């Protein structure tokens, strides 16, 4: 389905060629233009992604849930005392969450009555925790996340 994909671009491009990623860019990384195809229920994007084996529908889903994802990551940051805002850190955590969402897609069955975000809730939480622990594995001197 390449013709469908060719129509979509990022709504807000990254302007970080000479400086770091801005907060706005990190918070709006999954916004696309034009608006995605309209559906009655956001879960239909995941069903279409599974049926057609096309991750473009996951992009449509992310376009709509990005604010929710940002909020979940910010709550984690505040709960863990990571108040120093770093847009690159936010984007890194978001990409880990996207990986968890993509991993959950094939197992999702809407007939069981659960919303996809509910279905993927624990996997997204684990992606956030795994990302928080990964600096300790990469660099033992890292102070980004301390285990009590």
pTM (two decimals): 0.82
Q: Tell me: the pLDDT tens digits for 12-43?
A: 777 665 577 888 888 999 998 888 888 999 99
Tokens 């009555």 — which residue?
Answer: 113
Distance CA 65, CA 36 (A): 12
Q: Could you give the count of Cα atoms lying within 13 Å of 143 in the half-sphere of its Cβ? A: 1
Distance CA 89, CA 10 (A): 20
Residue among 75, 94, 73 nearest 29 (CA): 94
pLDDT, averaged per 10 consecutive residues of the chain (148 residues), comes to: 65 70 88 88 94 93 95 92 81 94 94 92 94 66 49
| Residues β-bridged to residue 32 | 10
For 113, which DSSP code? -
């Amino acid at each position: 389905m390449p013709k469908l994909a060719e129509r979509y671009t990022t709504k807000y491009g990254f302007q970080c060629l000479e400086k770091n990623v801005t907060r706005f860019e990190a918070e709006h990384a999954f916004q696309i233009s034009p608006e995605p195809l309209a559906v009655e229920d956001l879960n239909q994007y995941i069903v279409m992604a599974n049926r057609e084996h096309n991750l473009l529908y996951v992009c449509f889903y992310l376009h709509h849930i990005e604010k929710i994802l940002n909020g979940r990551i910010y709550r984690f940051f505040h709960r863990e005392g990571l108040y120093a805002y770093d847009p690159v850190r936010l984007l890194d955590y978001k990409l880990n969450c996207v990986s968890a969402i993509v991993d959950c897609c094939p197992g999702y069955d809407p007939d069981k009555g659960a919303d996809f975000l509910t279905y993927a809730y624990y996997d997204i939480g684990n992606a956030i925790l795994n990302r928080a622990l990964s600096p300790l594995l990469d660099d033992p001197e890292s102070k980004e996340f301390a285990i009590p």
